[in-house]
Structure 1
Amino acid sequence: MAVLFSALTLPLNGQDKSSNSFGKGLQVVASDSSFSMKFGLRFQSLYQGSLNVVSEKWSDQFLIRRARMKFDGFAYHPSLTYKVELGLSSRDISGGDVDEHSNTSRIIYDAVLKWQFKENWSLWAGQTKLPGNRERVISSQKMQFVDRSLLNARFNIDRDIGIQLHHSANLGKRAVIKNILAISIGEGRNLTTDNIGGYDYTYRLEYLPFGEFSGKGDYFGSDLKRETAPKLAIGATFDYNDGAARQRGQLGSFVQGSNGYQLSTDLSTLFIDTHFKYRGFSLMGEYANKRSSKQVFVVLDDFSTLKYTTGNAINLQAGYLIDKSEWAVRYTHVKPDDLEYSSLKEETEYTLGYSRYIVGHSLKLQSDLSYTNKALGDNLVSFRVQFEISF
């Protein structure tokens, strides 16, 4: 007993310490420098409630909005990098209970290899985000509001499997131009069946007249870097999904009849966006337009319908950061192009948001209050509060 007591009172020296810092992940490099890996973990805990203005009914819920694991680094040579991101929450992995995903959870978000074969040139292969609208490409960890806008929810082209070619070049003393060309399968992430339609082709062009943003600030919300000189990014994306089998191309339900007959149509999507930052002020604007080559839809046995998502939308948001706190406002309007053939319903949403950045986007508390005006439905008042932690 005396020996046991002595052992328990000895100082504990087994604690593992590393040089890693909060929000930067755990980083390791092989002793022969043949590979590196950074591991990160993050999650968002969300409360959301909404009031139906007509019925005066209040509904709410708590949930883990996102929970992700991310791995990235280089393999064999620093010019060959990789990224793997896995989703863990129920919202992350849902939607895979269809034959096209082998009725399994859609855990894999990113699994992509990137080869920088020449200065300012890189080739990507695998599953990752397409170069679509800016708001979608911005990580869900680094948003200005609790979540993305209705424009993004209805029109984004999300992730896909294929190849991408990236290039950037300087124009004059400060300006930068960037080009991205992608060819992908066209039906979204984690598809296990043969390609149903044709391929998807995406081209994105970006122009930064005042040079690069600090810390890649053109792709995170809020001016956390407090740009000392004005910075502006202007971008445009055109996406053509040949023989789209899903309502939104890479997203939505497969447009199939109750007898299994699969419809297809060509979907064309245009995005135009801009991002401006200066001394704590930020402004982002986006326009989206999606069109179908054929006016078709499916009527199911229960008389419900499956339609393609076509129409247009605009989103404008701005915020001002003081110390570690930011107030922001957002306006979004979504409109279908055809009431008979589009799955869209016209909506206008006004949002006021507040964020407290404790450690940038790695540890923050965000809340927002929205009023949604629906042309064909009851108007809603919604409140959300969410904390994010990222290691």
Structure 2
Amino acid sequence: MRFGLFLLVSLCSILSFSQRTEGNAPPFGKGLFNLVGKDSTYTMRVGTRIQLLSLADWNIRDNGGLVDPEQNTLVRRARLKFDGFAYSPRLRYKIELGLSNRDMAVVSPFTRNTPGYIMDAVVMWNFAGNFELWFGQTKLPGNIERVISSGNMQQVDRSLLNARFNIDRDIGFQLRHHFKLTEKMVVREIVAISQGEGRNITEGNLGGNQYTARLELLPFGLFKGRGDYSGSDLVREPKPKLLLAATYDTNRDAVKTRSNMGDFMLNDTGLYETDINTVFVDAMFKYRGFSLMGEYAHRTAEDPVARNSDGSPTGDIVQVGSGLNLQTGYLLKSNWEVSGRFTNISLDEAITGSAAVQQYTLGLSKFIVGHKLKVQTDLSYLNDTGAGENNLMYRLQLDLHF
């Protein structure tokens, strides 16, 4: 109730401000408005975005017939975003609130059974040269597909590799640095220490801590407009650009089935704890409208089967195994793009009981104003060898960002 009242007051303030600044608003896609302090000691850009998704899927019989149809239409994402600097341009901040049901669905005893409104709440301090210290809740430096914003994706949604292995958001510290190794080659390093239980945990540090390190090489220099952290080659890079990266993440005494994601592992004494390690290797290439992204993920655990104090299994299992994702697309001069994706998930069948899964996706996108206003659709075929089932899924999505 209090949060709803806060949102109502905030929206009324935004509408009131926009009426006073009519004709001076930023261009479409650059935020609803930008505030600058009288003495220029702070700025705030306010933005919002929505994703509206409609999907349908069917099971496929051996004779090719489609059965068991299911359909759903929903507000996939609805966000409010605030960013700028405080006191000095060297001290930046970002706040992002998730308002859709899916954004808030992190209710558990460890979040005091309240919705998880906060996606990002982070302060970024450029304290010396090319060094920047981040403090707060935000995305960990994991696989490239997860770090790319959900508003800048090449297809309707991220791949199965991301769904199974990503390390998402957490609260803690990140130290970031970059330098030039040669006249063109740029190197970026990121290390992070976080709580290890994901976002919006309010009941303290439940297990140990999570440690993440990522190294990125850009042999041909920086992408235009941070294109390495965006799907599709919307700027049509005039020269080849390449990102090569690797991440190592270790979650000590982790209490969830997918490192800091998934379900909490409960046993007869409380929470089951085990060390979980995840490795990512990924690449991004762009040139004249063509884009190619590749990702590999591998996860292990010290003891992946959760057990009670007497050694009996609880039923919770760490999702150990590996995944491969390959995605490519070509942007036509008309700003239509055709894209394709292949994903293979191979969990450790002896431990998880899950056999290999392959998914093939064909996508079509129309970028009206880049990623800020676009319509995307895709068709996916899923082959689950373990369950002996095949599935067909169709999706249509509208993105609108202010």
Give 2:88's match in structure 1, choosing from 77, 86, 91: 77
SS in 2 for 1:216: helix
Aligned length: 373
Q: Which residue is 1:279 aligned to?
A: 288
Identity percentage of aligned residues: 48
Deviation at 1:191, TM superposition (A): 0.4
Q: 1:40 & 1:168 partners in 2: Cα distance?
A: 28
Q: Which residue is 1:193 aligned to?
A: 203
Q: Which residue is 2:51 aligned to?
A: 44
Q: 2:87 & 2:353 partners in 1: Cα distance?
A: 47
SS in 1 for 2:154: coil
Q: 2:21 & 2:206 partners in 1: Cα distance?
A: 54
Q: Which residue is 2:394 aligned to?
A: 383
Contact 2:75 2:100 in 1 (8 A): yes
SS in 1 for 2:226: helix
Q: 1:355 & 1:251 partners in 2: Cα distance?
A: 30
Give 1:21's match in structure 2, choosing from 14, 24, 27: 27
SS in 2 for 1:332: strand
Name segments (4+ residues, structure 1) moved above 2 Å: 13-17, 339-346
Deviation at 1:15, TM superposition (A): 7.9
Deviation at 1:16, TM superposition (A): 2.4
1:333-360 C-alpha deviation (Å, 9 max, x unpaired): 00112x2433755210000000000000
1:9-56 C-alpha deviation (Å, 9 max, x unpaired): xxxx97823241100002111111111000110000000110111371
Give 1:292's match in structure 2, choosing from 277, 298, 301: 301
Q: Which residue is 1:235 aligned to?
A: 245
Gaps of 5+ in 2: 1-18
SS in 1 for 2:146: helix
Contact 2:266 2:314 in 1 (8 A): no
SS in 1 for 2:145: helix
Q: 2:165 & 2:190 partners in 1: Cα distance?
A: 19
Q: 1:14 to 1:187 in 2, by over 3 A?
A: closer
Determine if the alignment matches structure 1 residue 64 to structure 2 residue 85: no
Q: Which residue is 2:162 aligned to?
A: 152
Q: 1:83 to 1:266 in 2, by over 3 A?
A: same
Q: 1:271 to 1:16 in 2, by over 3 A?
A: same
- Pairing 1:51-200 to 2, within 5 Å after superposition: 51-54=58-61, 56-96=67-107, 98-200=108-210
Contact 1:35 1:74 in 2 (8 A): yes
Contact 1:241 1:267 in 2 (8 A): yes
Q: 1:126 to 1:56 in 2, by over 3 A?
A: same
Give 1:333's match in structure 2, choosing from 344, 353, 376: 344
Q: 1:215 & 1:343 partners in 2: Cα distance?
A: 44
Q: 2:318 & 2:134 partners in 1: Cα distance?
A: 29
For 1:203, the aligned partner's letter is A
Q: 1:342 & 1:34 partners in 2: Cα distance?
A: 54
Contact 2:297 2:324 in 1 (8 A): yes
Comparing 52-61 and 340-349, the one that deviates more: 340-349
1:151-191 C-alpha deviation (Å, 9 max, x unpaired): 00000000000000000001111000000000000111000
| TM-score with structure 1 setting the length | 0.93
| TM-score with structure 2 setting the length | 0.90
SS in 2 for 1:253: strand
Q: 1:342 & 1:293 partners in 2: Cα distance?
A: 14
Comparing 177-186 and 287-296, the one that deviates more: 287-296
- Pairing 1:3-18 to 2, within 5 Å after superposition: 16-18=22-24
Contact 1:311 1:344 in 2 (8 A): no
Q: 1:84 to 1:14 in 2, by over 3 A?
A: closer
For 2:277, the aligned partner's letter is S
Q: Which residue is 2:232 aligned to?
A: 222
Q: Which residue is 2:276 aligned to?
A: 267
For 1:275, the aligned partner's letter is M
Gaps of 5+ in 1: 1-12
Larger radius of gyration: 1
Give 2:41's match in structure 1, choosing from 34, 39, 42: 34
- Pairing 1:336-375 to 2, within 5 Å after superposition: 336-337=347-348, 339-342=349-352, 345-375=355-385
Q: 1:106 & 1:21 partners in 2: Cα distance?
A: 31
Q: Which residue is 2:258 aligned to?
A: 248
For 1:237, the aligned partner's letter is T
1:224-262 C-alpha deviation (Å, 9 max, x unpaired): 0100000000000000000000111211110113x4631
Contact 1:81 1:115 in 2 (8 A): yes
Q: 1:134 & 1:171 partners in 2: Cα distance?
A: 22
Q: 1:217 & 1:113 partners in 2: Cα distance?
A: 23
Contact 1:231 1:277 in 2 (8 A): yes
1:311-367 C-alpha deviation (Å, 9 max, x unpaired): 000000000000210000000000112x24337552100000000000000000000
Contact 2:194 2:210 in 1 (8 A): yes
Contact 1:37 1:71 in 2 (8 A): yes
SS in 1 for 2:270: coil
1:182-216 C-alpha deviation (Å, 9 max, x unpaired): 00001110001121211000000000000000000
SS in 2 for 1:91: helix
CA RMSD across the alignment: 1.6
Q: 2:99 & 2:86 partners in 1: Cα distance?
A: 25
